[in-house]
Amino acid sequence: MQSEAKIAVLEPADLAGLDLPQALGLVRSLTETVTHLQHQLDWFKRQLFGSKSERFMAPDPLQMHLGEALPLPSEAPPPREKTIPAHTRKAAQSNLAESEGEAVPFFDESKVPVETIAVANDACVGLSDDQFKVIGEKISYRLAQRPASYVVLKYVRPVIKHIETQKISCPAAPRGVLQGSRADVSFCAGLLVDKFVYHQPLYRQHQKLDHNGIDVSRAWLTQIAKACIALLEPIYASQFDSIRASRVIAMDETAIKAGHDKGKMKAAYFWPVYGDRDEVCFPFFTSREQQCVVNALGVTPIEGAVLLSDGYAAYAAYAKRTGLTHAQCWAHTRREFFEAQAADPDAVAQALQQIGQIYAIEQHIRDKKLTGPAKREYRLDHSKAVITVFFDWIDKQFQRQGLLPSNPFTKALAYARERRAGLEVFLTDPDVPVDTNHLERALRVIPMGRKNWLFCWTELGAKQVGIVQSLIATCRLHSVDPYTYLVDVLQRIGQHPASRVSELTPSLWHQNFGDKPLRSDLYNIGA
């Protein structure tokens, strides 16, 4: 949104001295200003009260209303009935599981502990063992919940005295991932998962611990989190290097408040980057300047590198500086038109329909699982013609009379036309996605978390958020359980060769260690 338009205050005396051309010019200027302010008001109303979905359904004049398409039944269907001796009654309606399905497990038995409860059969009361015979059993399941899942591991270490030598010995206490700490690796991993997956700030976790009888300080939780993140940082750095070495990189930025100055929180940004191996990192910078792109990606991209982004000028400047190919996102182009629906509904509907054809072709490519040259040829055969028609249509729209520069529809047209070259990159490069939606899905963890923890008190804290979220978000991309992953790598990182730290990144970890991950001692209880 642009800055608020300002209207000059005119006195009657000022108006009296105007001739006809001046008056017409003033009316034209005021009309444009009012239109601009109305567009701003409509935009703010959509942000506050409108739907966040950008789904567009084109009106079909031939489509009938539901009441016209579906005739009303002549009579209501008879109620479901079941026969019971002596009379007939209506069957009870319920959304709960039927009794015959109560013995079907609805959980992963390898992850959820099961406590077995034996139910006595009253029919056996007073009978001796030779008067009845157990011929089978029936099983039913009920989902229950404990106040908390915290467990204290009590290590009992026997102290022995050798009779002959009088020597006293005692086994050493098991070593944890944090030397001298009372925190088991399972607690460390759970702390990070609760904070970064379920977005529970540490003060809420401290309250939960206190309510369940565990007396620890909030500062201790902070120390645990910092120490664990320090162990994970080399893995994050290796993953970031892998992304920088990718040929096709998607990049975006999202705001965050981090650090404080003179009693006010400072504005800062994460700059998420997405690489070829389905890895995402969230580098943190204190500004939105062009130099942040340089600092994140470097100045020497690999041969044939492509940067996929939205229309922010910093990315275009970086592409010009480094010589790489700059691809533009079609989803952001579509969003410009979607936001302009109130200004020109009919014309916007045409634009959205034409862009929708491009996405329909991409869906067909995914359905057919086309890759490489076959994907490229299909795009050239089908998408290129659609795009040519689309930009011809844009040129015709600019020839219309009465389109003001401040009109959102005019801005949407200009946005697309100025970025035509970048929007057509995907036609000839099958590795380039049509948009950055894959990146935006991955970075949702940042705004979702921001709704809970609001800000980072320090810039270092924001950097640590980026480190952990980079690994957890990548775990999700590779269907890796974050808790299992963290329990393993927190134990493995201290003994793993530094030259092979890339093996601990989520994209490679599930190949190398996913079948036999390291566990906490808690896992072996009762085994």
Question: pLDDT tens digit string along 322-349?
Answer: 999 999 999 999 999 999 988 889 999 9
180-213 core/surface letters (b: 16 or more CB in 10 A; e: else): eeebbbbbbbbbbbbbbbeebebeebbeebeeee
Strand partners, 309: 328
**What are the tokens at 177?**
């991932």
Cβ–Cβ < 8 Å for 205, 477: no
Which pLDDT belongs to residue 80?
59
Among the ranges given (18-32, 59-73, 143-157, 377-391), the one the predictor scored with the smallest mean pLDDT: 59-73
Look at residue 82 in the predicted model and tell me its pLDDT: 57
- Looking at beta carbons, which pairs linking 1-5 to residues 24 or more positions away fall under 8 Å? 1/40, 1/43, 2/36, 2/40, 2/406, 4/37, 4/40, 5/33, 5/36, 5/37, 5/40
Segment of 24-28, 45-49, 501-505 carrying the highest mean pLDDT: 501-505
Q: What is the largest CA-CA distance in the chain?
A: 120
Element (H, E) at 10: none
Residue with token string 């099961």: 114
Beta strands 284-285; 264-270: pairing state: antiparallel
How many angstroms separate the CA atoms of 247 and 306, rounded? 6
Instruction: Provide the pLDDT for residue 130.
Output: 84
Strand partners, 267: 257
Return the bridge partners of 132, or none: none
- Eight-class DSSP state of 420: H
213: left (phi over 0), alpha (psi -120 to 50) or beta: left
Edge-to-edge strand ranges of the sheet holding 254-261: 254-261, 264-270, 284-285
- The residue ranking higher by pLDDT, 202 or 263, is 202
Burial 25-62 (b: 16+ CB within 10 A, else e): eeeeeeeeeebbeebbebbeeeeeeeeeeeebeeeeee
- Percent of the chain having pLDDT more than 70? 84
Mean pLDDT confidence for 165-193 = 90
Cβ atoms 510, 480 nearer than 8 A: yes
| Tokens found for residue 274 | 């997405």
pLDDT tens per residue, range 424-466 = 999 999 999 999 999 999 999 999 998 888 889 899 999 999 9
pLDDT at 43: 66
Q: What mean pLDDT is predicted for residues 22-44?
A: 74
pLDDT of residue 120: 82
pLDDT of residue 526: 61
Asked whether residue 364 carries a pLDDT value surpassing 80, the answer given is yes
Q: Once rounded to an integer, what is the mean pLDDT over residues 276-298?
A: 96
Rounded Cα distance, 124 and 118, in Å = 14
Q: What is the pLDDT of residue 25?
A: 75
Confidence of residue 4 (pLDDT cuts 50, 70, 90): very low
User: Smallest Cα–Cα separation from 412: which of 357, 342, 359?
Assistant: 342
Split at pLDDT 50, 70, 90, the class of 66 is very low
Token couple for 252: 């975006």
CA distances from 116 to 8, 141, 268, 430 (A): 79, 10, 52, 55
**Residue 382 DSSP code:** I
pLDDT-based confidence at residue 493 (cuts at 50, 70, 90):
very high
Structure tokens belonging to residue 116: 């077995």
More confident site: 355 or 343:
355
Question: Where does the pLDDT of residue 350 fall: very low under 50, low under 70, confident under 90, or very high at 90 and above?
Answer: very high
Interior/surface letters 365-404, b for 16+ CB within 10 angstroms, e for the rest: beeeebeeeebbebbeebbeeebeebeeebeebeeeeebe
Q: How confident is the model at residue 21 (pLDDT cuts 50, 70, 90)?
A: confident
Q: For 81-89, what is the mean pLDDT?
A: 58
Q: How far apart are CA 169 and CA 487, in angstroms?
A: 31
SS3 327: strand
Pairing type for strands 248-251 and 306-309 reads: parallel
Using 50, 70 and 90 to split pLDDT, how confident is the model at 42? Answer: confident
Q: Which residue has the higher pLDDT, 183 or 24?
A: 183
pLDDT of residue 94: 47
230-244: per-residue pLDDT in tens?
999 999 999 999 999
- Structure-token match 């530094």, residue found: 498
Segment 261-288 shows an average pLDDT of 94
Q: Which of 469, 132, 45, 486 is nearest to 279 (CA)?
A: 469
